[in-house]
Structure 1
Amino acid sequence: MAMVSSRLVFLFSICILISQAFAQQRYFLYYNCSDNGNYTSNSTYKANLNRVLYSLSSNTEIDYGFYNFSYGKSPDQVYSIGLCRGDVNPDICLSCLKNATNLLTLLCPTQKEAIGGFDYCLLRYSFRDIFGIMVGSPAFVMRNVDNVSSNYEQFRQDLTTLLGSQISQAAAGGSLRKFAVGNTTAPDSQTLYSLAQCTPDLSVQDCRDCLNRTATELLPNCCDGRQGGRVVRPSCNLRYEIYLFYNATADKASSPSLSPPPPPVPSVSPPASNNTPAAKGKESNKSRIVIIVVPIISFVVLIIISFCIFLRVRKPREKPQSESVDEIRSVESLQLGFGTIKVATDDFSDANKLGQGGFGVVYKGKLSDGQVIAVKRLSKNLGQGDLEFKNEVLLVAKLQHRNLVRLLGFCLEGIERLLIYEFMPNGSLDHFIFDPIKRAKLDWARRYKIIGDIARGLLYLHEDSRLRIIHRDLKASNILLDSEMNPKISDFGMARLFELDQSADNTSRIVGTYGYMAPEYAMHGQFSVKSDVFSFGVLVLEIISGKKNSSFRNGENMEDLLSYAWKNWKQGIISNLVDPTLKAGSTTEIMRCIHIGLLCVQDNVAVRPTIASVVLMLNSYSITLPIPLEPAFFMNSGIESNIHLQGENDSRVMESNQSKGSSVQASINEASITELSPR
C-alpha cells in the first residue's frame, strides 16, 4: 500500500509539473540521468543540490541567460549550469529553468549527474567541475518529419553556408553570451532559419569546435534531407528550420528584451534509435527525448489536469483539522510545570542568573534528568495573552536548524511565562570577539566557520523554513556558542513572520539594537530580509576586526566601524581592519569576507545581496563579487544624538542619549536574551 501511495505521489507531482509546463508553452524535450554516481534523499549532496538549483532558478540579478553556480565542498560539491536561448527574456528564462529544475530532479531522483531542457533553456548539474570544459555527450537530436521537396543539393549548400556564418558569429561572442541567429533564401522561395549557441564559459576555439563537429557529424546523420533539425549537446546546440522559430529581433538587437513568439506546432520527431548519438554507449539507458504535440495530447493533458485537481481537493476538510490537532498536541507536549522549573533554577536564584534583557531575566537550570537548560523568565508587563504566547512558542518550536538555538519547552501558569532553551556553555559571541584575551581562542578558521554558519542559519529563516522569518535583532550578543564553538542564532522576541511571497513591511514601532539596524529601518521603519542582511554585514566586519560598530577614537577623529572599514577598503589598507590576532589567517578568505561584509551594509537596499547569494559567495570562489558601494554611516553623521526608537510596547522604548555621554554595556548573555538598549 505504501509503495502504491508513493507512486501516486510521484505521478501526481509529474502530472502537475507537466501541466504547468504545458500551460506556459515549455515543451520538455530531452533529459539524461547519468549512471556515474548516486546520492540519497538525506545526504549532504542532496542538500547542496537543492541549494544550488534554487539559487540558479531564482537569481534575478543576471539578465544574460547564463548561470553557473557551485556549492559545497568535495566530495559533496555540486556544480550547475543553466543556459537560456539567447532570444529569451529574463522572466521567461527563469520560469523555464524553474520548470526544468522541478522536472529533472523528479526524473533523475538519485543521480549525481543529469541534464535536461525545454525549447527555451538547458539545465545541467554534476559532482564534477563542468565550468569552462567542452562536453559533447550526451547529444540529443531531433528532426523535422518533412523532407526537402526539391533541389536538395542547393538546399544543403545554402544550409552549410548559413550554419558556417552562425557558428563563426556565435564563437566570437563574449563571456556573457555566445549566440547567433540568421536566415537565408532557400530553394522554392523558402526562407531558411538557423540558430547556434554555446555556453559562454567556453573559449572561442572550443565553441567553434563543438558547433563544427555538431554541424558536420551529428546533424547530417539525423537530419540530412529534412526541412529542419536540431542537436543539443551539454556545451553547444544547433538548429535550423524553414519557419521562424526564434525572436525575429534577436539578430538585430544587442540584448533581447522581447519574449520569443509562441512556437508553431512542433513537427519534429526523434530519429530512429540506431541513428541517435544519445542512444549509444553507457548513458543510453536513461536518455529520453519527449516531444509534446499540442493537438494530439491536449485532450489527454486536460484529463491529467482534471485528475490532479481531483486529487488535490478530494478531502479538503480533513487536512486543516488534522494539522490543527497536531499543532495543539505539539505545543502541549512542550509545556513544563512551573514547579519543575523553579526547582531546576534553585528558585531563580541570583547565583544561576545568566543575564538580563528587555524581555526578562535568563537563568541557568538543571532538570531532574541532569539536562542543563537556560530559562528565560519573561517580564510580567509584556501584555501578551495566553493564546499569543502559545502561538509564539509554536513558531519558535517549528524552527529546527543546527544554527538556531533550540526551544526545549515553555511554562504558562498564571502570570508566569517561561521559555526553556538548550544551554549554550560558551555564552555569546561578543564575549569572545570583543575581549582582548578571549579573542585569541578564535583563530581565522574558527571565525570563518562562524560567519558561514550564521549565514546558513539566516538563510533557513529567510528561505528554507516553512515560514519566512525576519529576525530584526541579529547581533553578536544574540549569537550563542555551544561546547564546540558552533554558533547558533538566538532571541526571536523581535522577529516578524512574513508570508512566503512577502518581501518587505513597514512599522512605526522600531525595535532592535542601534548600530546593527539598517538605515531604512532606523529612519523610516522599513524592514525586510535585506535589513537582516545589513545586520549580518555589520556582524561580519565585527568578527574580522574585533571592533564594535560603535563610536571609537581613530587618532583625533571619532568613527564608527563601517566608515572605518570603508575608508581602509578604498585606500587598499585592509590590514588596518583585521584583528591583529588573525595575522596567520588566510589573506584571501579574509579579504573576500570583508568584501562580502561591505556588500551587505550598502546604503541602497536594492544592491545588497540576499542571504542566499551571500552563502554562495562564501562557498564558491567561481562567483565574481561586485564592487561595493558606500555603506550607511551613523556615528560620524551627527544624527545619533537624539534618536528615539519606540518599542512595540511600553517595555521596549529605547532612546539614544550619546550626546550626554551615557552608554549601555552588553549584558552577560549565555542564553537567548534581548538587549533593547542601543549601543
Structure 2
Amino acid sequence: MLAGPYATVAVALVLLLLPAPAPAAAEETPPPDCDASSAYAPNSTFQANLNLLAAALPANASASPAGFATFAAGAAPDQANGLALCRGDANASTCAACVAAAFRDAQQACPLDKGVTVYRDACVLRFAGRQFLDFLREDQWLISELVPAILTDSARSVNASDAWFNAAVTGTLTALVDRAAAATNATRKYFATGEMDFHPKLYGLAQCAPDLTPAQCQGCLRNLQKVVVSARFLSGRPPSNSAFVVWCSLRYSVSPIYDGRAMLQLAAPPEPPPSATLTPPSSGRKRSAAGISAGIACFVVLMLILLVFFFRRFRRRIKAAENGEHSLKKVGRAQCTIFDLPTLQEATEHFSEKNKLGAGGFGTVYKGILSDGQEIAVKKLLERAGSGLDQLHNEMRVLAELQHKNLVGLQGFCSHQNDTLLVYEYIKNGSLDNILFDDSKGNALNWEQQYNIIHGIAKGILYLHEDSSMRIIHRDLKSSNILLDDNMEPKIADFGLARLLGEGHTHSRTTRVVGTFGYMAPEYAWSGSVSPKIDIFSFGVLILEIVTRRSNCSSDDHTTVNLLTDVWDHWTKRTVSQMLHPSLDEFARTQALRCIHIGLLCVQPEPDNRPDISAVVFMLTRDSMELQPPSQPAFFFGRESPSASRSDGQRSYVYDRSGFILEQGISVNEVTLSELYPR
C-alpha cells in the first residue's frame, strides 16, 4: 500500500533534479466569479443561446493565432455574449479543452447565473447576458474599475532577504510588462514569458487580450503589477503570486508556469550588502580595540545626529519667530502638505465672510489664494479631529493618497491648537445644488451633462467602496457635496471626514449620526447602522434629484410631501414621464426613465434590497442589462395622512419640514407587500 506514494515521491525528486525545467503544471486558480445580479430560467431562450456559445467559443479560440475569440449568440434581451483567451503558449487542443472545461466550471459553480468569469491555468472565460466588450472603448476604459483576483502562496517563503527578493520580483514583472505590451505583430498577441537567474529561479508570465490597444495593455498590466508587488501580497516572500482580470494577467513563481523556453532571460539584481560584517578571528587585544573604536564611532555619530536635529529645530523656531513664516512640509507618498495657520489666514483674508463658499455638517468652507496665486478651498472643521496629532497625520496621509478624477483633490491640512483645517483644490463651478435647483440659472445643464454627472458620482463611490486602499463610507452624500469642474465633471467632496473625525463608530454602528436628513438611509438615521448601503441610498436620492431637478429636502409647495413620494406615486400610475423636462428627446427620455428606475432600486427600505455600487455602474452603462422591478421606497407616505401608521407591515419613516424624523412604525411580523411594476 505504501509503495505507490513512495514511488511517486521518488519520481518527483528525480524530476526536480533534472537540469531541464518541467512543463508547466496546472496551478490553483481563483474560484469562478459569479454575477448573481441576473439569472436565467432552465430551458429558456438564454440557456439555448448559452449552449450555442459553449459550442462555438472553444473551437473559435483554438483556431485563432492569438488563442482569443469573442462570440454573441442570439438577440437581446436573451443574447449570450462570451470571450475566451488561452495562454499564449497553449496549443490548439489544450486551448479548446481548457475553454470547454471552463464552461463546465461555470455551470457547476454558478448555476443559472447570466454572468460568470472563470480563470483557469491555460485560459480565461467570461460570458454574460449583456455587452461587456464596449468597456474597451476609450470613453469607457477605466483601469480603476478593474478589480483583480489574486492568488498567493502564503504558506511558503523564499529563502532570501526581503530587499533582494522584492527587487528580483519587481525586475521580472517590469521586464515582462514592457515586453508583452510592445507586441507589434498583426495578431497583437500580447504575451511574454521570462526567467530570472535568481536563487531559486523566478519564472514569470504576462498576457493581455488582443482587443486591447498597446496603451491599454500596458496600463492593465501595470495595475496588476502594482498590486502584486504591494506589501500586502509580497510580504513574507511568497514563492508565487498570480493576478487576473478578464483583460490581462500577470504571474510569477519559483516553478515553471509556461511551456518551452522563456522569451526573456533575465539576470538577477545584485544582492544588497549585509547589514553588518563579521570581524575575522584575531587576538583578544585586537578584538577589544576594535570594539572600543566601534563604540566611540557610534557615540560620535549619534551625537552628530542629535546636534543636527536640535540645530534644525532651533533654527526653524527662530525663523518662525522673526518672520512669522513657516515652510510648508510634505507628508507621505501623496505629498500631503502641512500648512501653517498664518498662511491660510492670509490666503482667506482671515476667513472673511466674503470668501465663504458654504457650510455643512462638518464645517465651513472658504475660498483662498496662496502667495503663488494658486486657488484653494479651506474647510474649518467644527471640532478637533481624531485622538492626537500623530493620528491626524496618519489619517491625512491615507486620505491624500485617494486619487480619482471624481473626488475633490485633498492637498493638505493644518492643525493649530483646537482648530483643524483641510485644504482642497478649488472647484470654480461650485456645488451641484446651486446649479440644479436655482431657477434663476434656467436650464443650465443639458441631459448629457446630467447623465454624466450621475455616472461620474457612481464611479467615485465605486472607488471609495471597492477600489481604494481602504474602504470609505461617505455618510453624507448630497447635492451640496458634489462639486462641478470646468467641464461639468462631478467631484465628490468631504469623503473620509466621518472616518477622520472619529465619530465613535464600531464595526457596524455609530454612537453619533452625522449627515443630512433627506439623504439618510432609514437604518442609519434611526439606529446608526453603518454599511456601504447607506451611501447607495443617498446616491439613489441624488439620481432622482438630478433627473427631476427637484430637491428631496425642501419644497415651496406645501402640498408636496417629499420627492420620493411623488416619484413613487407617478411610477405606480405610469405617469413618471411627466416629471421629466419637456425638452428631452426620445433617447434622452428613455435614459432618464432608466435612471429613475435605478434611483428607486437604490432607495429601498431594506439595505439588502439595494444594489451594490458596482452593480449600479453596470446598470448605468449597460442598457441591455435587465433591471428588477422596484418596490415602494423608504420615506414614502400617502398625501392624505402623512403621519398615519402603516397597515401593510412595512417600516414607515417620515420626515418633517425641519428635517428631523417624526415617526418610525415597525410591524410585528415584518410582512411586505409587492407593488405592481408599471410597463
TM-score, normalising length: structure 1 = 0.50
Higher RCO by CA contacts (8 Å cutoff, separation 6 or greater): 1
TM-score, normalising length: structure 2 = 0.50
